[in-house]
Amino acid sequence: MVDVTDLHARGLRRRKKMFGAADVEKRMAAAGEFGAPLQNIINAYVYGDVWERQGLSDAMRSLVMLAITAASGRTTEFRVHARGALANGCTREQVQDVLLLVAMYCGIPAAIETNSIAAEFFGKDAAAKA
């Protein structure tokens, strides 16, 4: 059995690598003490366990997360995972293709706002800022 403390530490390292330490600390502190149990679950099981599995590459996992968050209208989480997708090496073309699939299978409204968010990270203007 894997030690949950180890899962938490591993997940926190991965999360900070993908999203930046400052953003992770901000998200973890947002709900204060009340939100600490949820943040522990996110660190240990989402990032320390599921994101550490070997079946998908980090880039593929990021593309899946973009599709899930776009399709379900979770634009705040989409923004977080767009940053992670960039850190995980996803390309502009991959993100565009994912959002086109979301538009075709989930409807145009599901892709409109997320397309604008993705452009902040993967658009030509974003590349010039980097």
Q: For residue 32, what pLDDT band results from cuts at 50, 70 and 90? A: very high
Mean pLDDT of 114-127: 88
Give pLDDT, residue 81: 97
Question: Domains in the chain, start-ordered, CATH in brackets?
Answer: 1-53 (no CATH), 56-130 (1.20.1290.10)
Indicate if the alpha-carbon torsion angle 91, 92, 94, 95 is positive or negative. positive
CA distance 47 to 98: 22
130 pLDDT above the threshold of 70: no
Q: How far apart are CA 96 and CA 13, in angstroms?
A: 28
d(CA 110, CA 36): 31
What six digits make up the tokens of 64?
Answer: 């899946």
Cα–Cα distances (Å) from 36 to 40, 41, 47, in that order, read 6, 9, 15
